[in-house]
Amino acid sequence: QASQDELKAAYRRLCMLYHPDKHRDPELKTQAERLFNLVHQAYEVLSDPQTRAIYDIYGRRGLEMEGWEVVERKRTAAEIREEFERLQREREERRLQQRTNPKGTISVGIDATDLFDRYDEEYEDVPGSSFPQIEINKMHISQSIEAPLTSTDTAILSGNLSTQNGNGGGSINLALRRVTSAKGWGELEFGAGDLHGPLFGLKIFRNLTPRCFITTNCALQFSSRGVRPGLTTVLARNLDKNTMGYLQWRWGIQSAMNTSIVRDTKTSHFTVAMQLGIPHSFMMVSYQHKFQDEDQTRVKGSLKAGFFGTIVEYGAERKISRHSVLGATVSVGVPQGVSLKIKLNRASQTYFFPVHLTDQLLPSAVFYATVGPLVIYFAMHRLIIKPYLRAQKERELEKQRESTASDILQKKQEAEAAVRLMQESVRRIIEAEEARMGLIVVNAWYGKFVNDNSKKNEKVKVIDVTVPLQCLVKDSKLILTEASKAGLPGFYDPCVGEEKSLKVLYQFRGVLHQVMSADNEALRIPKQSHRIDADG
């Protein structure tokens, strides 16, 4: 928000500080010339309204963006933002043909009922019968990719393979989707498989009002038994900012009517649903609580009751890395028994492992299904995941340090040169401040401070910035804006990629003051709250 007058004043001040003619020493003169040129380049960018708007919004990458040479000079910041976004869209469209959106699911069903429901009396004489038999009884694999054809047309290719107890099959589908307007789209689907025969489908989505939409899906399934038509219609409406209501009607295979209300907020997700249909009718209530922590932990529970029986489910999920979420759910039902469902989401891929433990309601199965995953998770988190993430972070930091090593070295040399060039100016500033009992910076450090005892083995990485800060003092005041302090004259980044702070010990009116400020935090001194209590 600096005005042109403020820019000119800062420019003149730095020019006076770094002007080569003010320094007789050949080495200082050379360093002054380099810093003087940098100041001049910065002023050229900031004094031009167009380049300043580009730099303020996008930084150096905006100035380096191709295509600005055709932009009209008399543009506002908003117009420049639109132009930049247009150039980006054009660049994205050139890569459109190469873009896909792969999604996949792998499900492996495990039968572990022998752990709790053993038929020992029937297999007493069979070798190895003393060990529980755990086997994979079903598998399912599905994958889909999208291929944008134009800005409105997309082709979607998907396929799946399934097997259960030695019998299986698969299918392949091709869908063509066209966005007809801002209010809707349509999709044609063609499929074939070795179990159900050819499939032809049509799906239509339409926004009826800003708060209401409808989806209709028609399908014709051909098989040896003839043609089996199907129709599914969903009507949805925003009941309020966080609540959606749904009405669904399904005719054909497993005809049913379903209504549900879903409320999703920042801290919770609640669903209530009721279905009347053939062969299943049920009521269901579920609730999920979202913790506002770094790992995005969620706990959930649900109750579902119908003609098929009653099922109670509870579980939790947690983010274990940047792109991975791990979850576990315990399902207890009559007559379904007890199952443990483990799910791992990795980017756009899902890995699902339903483990059937028993057909009966056994307390021991419920206990082990609940406690077992918790013990395994915390053990893996402490022994494997946490060390891996820590090592990965260190590798990324090291890679970042290596890639910026030459640039940081240059910044360090420029900062050290600036400090040497500031010495005479700082001496005069201190003399003036002492005469008026004003602001004198006693000591100032910038970088990574270690105050936590749990991190006492970590190395402190700070640099002395007493001289640069004193040089910024004007009329017994020091004002720093909300920006990284690594860019200030005489500063550089001593610990790339790590959290940094500025610690200042200063004297004002003969009294010592001290303050610690975060890297991007604004700072204004002197302040009464910074005063060091003499009794303390």
For residue 143, with 0-12 CB atoms within 10 Å meaning exposed, 13-18 middle and 19 or more buried, which class applies? Answer: middle
Cβ within 8 Å of residue 453, ≥6 positions away: none
Q: Within the chain, which residue ranges are assigned CATH 2.40.160.40?
A: 135-253
Q: Three-class SS of residue 215?
A: strand
Q: Both tokens of residue 23? A: 């320094």
**CATH classification (class only), 4-68:** mainly alpha
State the pTM of this model: 0.62
- So what's the architecture of 135-253 in CATH? Beta Barrel (2.40)
Locate CATH 1.10.287.110 in the chain.
4-68
DSSP-derived secondary structure for 334-367: ETTEEEEEEEEEETTEEEEEEEEEESS--HHHHH
Instruction: Name the pairing type of β-strands 349-358 and 103-111.
Output: parallel
Per-residue tens of pLDDT for the chain, all 536 residues: 778 888 888 888 888 878 888 777 777 788 788 888 888 888 888 888 777 777 776 666 666 655 544 444 445 666 666 766 766 666 665 555 446 678 899 999 999 988 887 655 555 555 555 677 888 889 999 999 988 888 889 999 999 999 988 788 899 999 999 999 888 999 999 999 877 788 999 999 999 998 999 999 999 988 877 888 999 999 999 999 999 999 999 998 788 999 999 999 999 999 999 999 887 899 999 999 999 888 889 999 999 999 888 999 999 999 887 788 999 999 999 888 999 999 999 888 999 999 999 988 889 999 999 999 899 888 988 888 888 888 888 888 788 777 777 778 888 888 888 888 888 888 888 999 999 899 999 999 999 887 655 455 556 688 999 998 998 888 899 988 888 888 888 898 888 878 889 999 999 988 999 999 888 888 999 998 899 875 54
Other CB atoms closer than 10 Å to residue 230's CB: what's the count? 17
Whole-number Å distance between alpha carbons of 461 and 496: 10
Query: Considering only CA atoms, which of 375, 288, 369, 289 is closest in space to residue 331?
Result: 369
Selection from 367, 292, 314 nearest residue 115 by Cα: 367
